[in-house]
Amino acid sequence: MARKGLNPRQQQILEFIQNFDEERSYPPTIRDIQQACNISSTSVVDYNLHILERGGYIRRDREVSRGIEVLGDSRDVRAGMTGTRVPVLGYIAAGEPVPVPGQDYWGAAEPLDVLDLPEGFLGKINKDTYALRVKGTSMIDALVDDGDVVIVQPVDSVQDGDMVVAWLQIEKEATLKRLYREGDRIRLQPANSTMEPIYVSADNLEVHGKVVGVLRSTV
């Protein structure tokens, strides 16, 4: 973690600011730094902070107490975070549709887990994006296995062939399938040669979202 162009004192200050911020969730004062680094005067701290600021290591807000921000540590999750936290809201059946507790099942319950996905890696991720853990192997030919997590983006319109979270209103059941429009009915097609498609009327179907990503743990 050593950086060129900084003398030991400046590195020490930089590290202290990072640790302090991590532990207490707010930056240190100049006098905090002074004491921690055994510096005799606040002016020395100020002097070295100027150097760190010119070097682009930190950003300072003048005349503001604790107005220090450490920049650009790429291993520090707090720095430059552009990702979005995506909750894993529950399970989705990739085989037979299964009933779920309530219609806003995925709105109320606590997430099973939470993922942090980088912006831009999977199209646009926003606050509506969520994830579901897949039960069953009906989408195996689409490379989605039992236990995988699918990232779901609520969308207004879907195209034929999209993998969607399909909600059957009458049956109050949800399932993960590919969607194809066929006249006034809709075919929900599994991606498994041993399974048959389901046909539903457009009225009965509500598309909760479209799968924009898949995440699998192989351990």
Partner DNA sequence: TCTGGCTCAGAACATACGTTCACTAAGGAG
Partner DNA sequence: CTCCTTAGTGAACGTATGTTCTGAGCCAGA
Residues in contact with DNA by the rule CB under 7 A: 7, 9, 29-32, 39-44, 46-48, 51, 60, 62-67
Nearest 5°: the CA angle 182, 186, 87 is 140
* Least CB distance to DNA at residue 216 (A): 46
Nearest Cα to Cα of residue 115 among 89, 79, 94 = 89
Give me the catalytic one of 138, 193, 210, 217.
Answer: 138
SS3 165: strand
Give me the catalytic one of 40, 43, 127, 177.
Answer: 177
> Is 138 an annotated catalytic residue?
yes
Stretch that binds a copy of itself, among 45-53, 69-77, 168-176, 188-196 (CB under 8 A): 69-77
Residues in contact with a copy of itself, shown as a per-residue x/- string from 87 to 126 under the rule CB under 8 A: x-----------------------x-xxxxxx-xxxx---
Query: Closer to DNA at the Cβ: 53 or 145?
Result: 53
d(CA 8, CA 19): 16
Query: Closer to DNA at the Cβ: 43 or 169?
Result: 43
Q: Do the beta carbons of residue 90 and residue 132 sit within 8 Å?
A: yes
Distance from chain centroid for Cα 117: 3
Stretch that binds a copy of itself, among 35-43, 89-97, 185-193, 207-215 (CB under 8 A): 207-215
Nearest Cα to Cα of residue 179 among 135, 133, 210 = 210
How far CA 51 is from CA of 9, 12, 16, 54, 216, in Å, comes to 11, 13, 16, 5, 45
For the annotated catalytic residues, the residue numbers are 138, 177
- Residues at the contact surface with a copy of itself, assessed by CB under 8 A: 24-27, 29, 61, 65-69, 74-78, 81, 83-85, 87, 111, 113-118, 120-123, 127, 140, 143-145, 163, 211-219
